[in-house]
Chains A and B, each alone.
Chain A
């Protein structure tokens, strides 16, 4: 259905007229040019398309524009604040928690929402919390390390 929709995108208020049945993933990538959010499976299985909606990790390939009305959407591009990387972004880079990097935005967004709920996760917690995000290059081990080290930093540790 074509309608007027309002929402917040990476902190900015957005008003658009759009077919609200379209999926957020494609609207982000094409209408807004935010190509950091990736397509991997289109069915909610891989997590490459994960973004935050009101601080919850959601799969943008399965989320229609209707569902984000008046909500707060954050993509990987919105994590950088005042030119500074988010602690998770920093930790991913420092721990080499990526190879091809294609799954990385989705991993980071999932972790961002996960850490909000569980700020001091054990290794097992991270594994459970992120198990539905796939990485074909096999960077899992380092992703776990990165998430745990980012958690420490975010809690004020070193």
Chain B
């Protein structure tokens, strides 16, 4: 089968030129009507502009849409599809503003040759920051088309209506002209940089309507291409020799046995040892035959003493938020509660491991790779190969999950280097073991909270310190007169010496840890105040959005007031992520003998402003709730001396069918408000909602995630 052919169909607008400047771009982009636009949020955009300038790319737009001479609408965006569903929701926004059917909108995503620079797909930013200008671009395109139609039909614009891409004279329905006819022979480019009036919610036809995934048929038939499915003529599969532990140094390698395997190519350059073969399994067999000796590190750091190690190596703290005076807050409080919370390293563990294919020809490199940051990869590959960035093209096929883990492009650089050294196209597809070993884990982190309540059950003090999880999700949304939030170290890569391996963003970075700590502490205070946890939260909340989601979740759940621990196994947690407010209520069953937890029911309400695709948003919530049970209950990376002990799904357990609770989701109808993030928020509450439910069930308070059966039994003993 010729895979390149298939790609050409998917990317038929491909061409050799690069988007150097706008003039150049218009020369190569073919005929039609173009609307160029960029994200408006300057803080997000400023960073982009810098990197874009560095790459010699246009700095004044970061996406464009094209109304082709055939009437087809194409959106060119640097965003990628990794399961989160923007392939559907972004097209919905565009189709609605343009008054065309969803089917007539095509998407070209992440291709660095065809799409303008984009920082990457993460942080629930696509719909939030990209959606509004996208809709404006659609509205502007429609305005241009209506003007053209008005000229053509000799009818004033105000008398024209659009139905399914056909402009019609409302007074004389036989007078009409299609977008295709209007775009024919035209070459119009408009740049929008400020607000264009868009549709009001009452005018929506496609936005806000549940739509099925547009990529579903490709995905259920096995036709959808992921990076590993790209097979090029003459391509070799590479397997790379990995050290047994992080920090291990290769001292000796014996390749003689591996060389005996027919047609195997071996590359050995410095620390890089790789075997290449036209079959991946034979390359793997050859790899197994390599004998290597390593000097092993002796760090004595493991998953138990890591927390002390991290506290010992903490960087300077930064107060990110502060109000009132924590000293007087402490004095005026009736009850002071001081607790420390812990969270271990978690793997991203997408079912598709990191994969990349690199082909180098005539000094130009083409890369197919599972990456959340194609434009970052482009720069990195250029550097690795020592060629200008404009000679690198990155094409992200579908991603088999990302969750933040595919923002780092190590596998791409490996493939690039091997393609250069071997002179052939090379595919590097990490094995599951490599995926675990080389992942940039969600960082282990610690949260210390000192909080106080008044006699009446008002929170009066909140002194919050977070180490290594970062700021996201650490800010106060309860009404507290005296608070201080101090952040030690970012949730990203941490400081170099602190973590024994790479760490990085993991779905809603930092927020899972922060929300676990905060919402557990809230429940402890509620109990101290002698109050029901719902009532206690309501008493300390004035934030309207949050009160509303909590109220709605409680109604749906049928919350009846009771103090913890009531034996019912009910828990509550609230959180804010990516601008979205979320509240969850769960019911769990705890087996006191085995410590096993079964989550029986989760009700989750979220206010995400305008939900562009309620169906997609619901799926994301369900996904968050399901995935979130994993980090809460089981997921933990065990390691010692740089060696990772969990290398497959046998010991690193992720949620499976039998874990499934009854899931009920509520999306608050809030069409008038700007859309907020949807791919991450609902996951942040899962740690605390389960912790609080466990406490309510059996009176065991867990201060560390994951809340494994052993830890639960231990907490029960302490009782």
Query: Is there an interface contact between B658 and A34, defined as CB atoms closer than 8 Å?
Result: no
CB contact under 8 A between A140 and B657, given known A38-B400, A93-B212, A104-B220: yes
Bound-state CA distance A48–B649 (Å) is 12
Contacts of A143 in B (CB 8 A): 657
Contacts of B627 in A (CB 8 A): 136-138
Query: Is there an interface contact between B83 and A101, defined as CB atoms closer than 8 Å?
Result: yes
Question: In the complex, which residue of chain B has the Cβ closest to the Cβ of A143?
Answer: B657
Query: 14 A-B contacts, Cβ less than 8 Å apart?
Result: A35-B225, A36-B221, A40-B352, A41-B648, A45-B649, A48-B351, A79-B221, A96-B216, A100-B82, A101-B83, A137-B83, A138-B623, A139-B623, A142-B619
Q: Which of A25, A34, A41 contacts B222 (CB 8 A)?
A: A34
Most-contacted residue by chain A among B226, B278, B399, B660 (CB, 10 A): B660
Query: Is there an interface contact between B281 and A22, defined as CB atoms closer than 8 Å?
Result: yes
Q: Does B689 belong to the interface (CB within 8 Å)? A: no
User: Which B residues are within 8 Å of any A CB, using their own CB?
Assistant: 1, 3, 82-85, 212-213, 215-226, 228-229, 231, 237, 278-282, 349-353, 398-403, 429, 431-432, 615, 619, 622-627, 648-650, 654-658, 660, 663
Question: In the complex, which residue of chain B has the Cβ closest to the Cβ of A94?
Answer: B212
Query: Is there an interface contact between B432 and A142, defined as CB atoms closer than 8 Å?
Result: no
Q: Please give the number of chain A residues whose Cβ is less than 8 angstroms from any Cβ of chain B in the complex.
A: 61
Query: Is there an interface contact between B222 and A77, defined as CB atoms closer than 8 Å?
Result: yes
Query: Is there an interface contact between B224 and A101, defined as CB atoms closer than 8 Å?
Result: yes
Given contact pairs A99-B83, A103-B400, A137-B623, enumerate 19 new A-B contacts (beta carbons under 8 Å).
A22-B279, A30-B278, A30-B279, A33-B1, A38-B228, A38-B352, A41-B649, A43-B432, A43-B650, A85-B217, A89-B220, A93-B220, A99-B85, A101-B216, A127-B660, A136-B627, A136-B654, A138-B624, A141-B622
Bound-state CA distance A99–B403 (Å) is 12
Contacts of B223 in A (CB 8 A): 36, 77
Query: Is there an interface contact between B220 and A98, defined as CB atoms closer than 8 Å?
Result: yes
Query: Is there an interface contact between B231 and A30, defined as CB atoms closer than 8 Å?
Result: yes
User: Which A residues are within 8 Å of any B CB, using their own CB?
Assistant: 22-23, 25-26, 29-31, 33-43, 45-46, 48, 75-77, 79-80, 85, 88-90, 92-94, 96, 98-105, 108, 126-128, 130-144
What is the interface of chain A mostly: helix, strand, loop, or mixed? loop
Most-contacted residue by chain B among A30, A92, A96 (CB, 10 A): A96
CB A130 to nearest CB in B, in angstroms, measures: 5
Query: Is there an interface contact between B656 and A75, defined as CB atoms closer than 8 Å?
Result: no
CB B366 to nearest CB in A, in angstroms, measures: 19
Contacts of A100 in B (CB 8 A): 82-83, 350-352, 398-402
Query: Is there an interface contact between A105 and B85, defined as CB atoms closer than 8 Å?
Result: no
What is the interface of chain B mostly: helix, strand, loop, or mixed? loop
Contacts of B3 in A (CB 8 A): 33
CB contact under 8 A between A131 and B656, given known A77-B222, A105-B222: yes
Query: Is there an interface contact between A99 and B619, defined as CB atoms closer than 8 Å?
Result: yes
Bound-state CA distance A128–B654 (Å) is 16
CB A109 to nearest CB in B, in angstroms, measures: 10
Q: Which of A93, A128, A138 contacts B658 (CB 8 A)?
A: A128
Bound-state CA distance A92–B222 (Å) is 12
Contacts of B279 in A (CB 8 A): 22, 26, 30-31
Query: Is there an interface contact between A102 and B350, defined as CB atoms closer than 8 Å?
Result: yes
Query: Is there an interface contact between B619 and A126, defined as CB atoms closer than 8 Å?
Result: no
Q: Which of A35, A85, A103, A127 contacts B229 (CB 8 A)?
A: A35
Bound-state CA distance A92–B219 (Å) is 9
CB contact under 8 A between A102 and B222, given known A33-B231, A93-B212, A140-B626: no
Contacts of A136 in B (CB 8 A): 349-351, 401, 403, 627, 654
CB contact under 8 A between A138 and B228, given known A76-B222, A100-B83, A100-B399: no
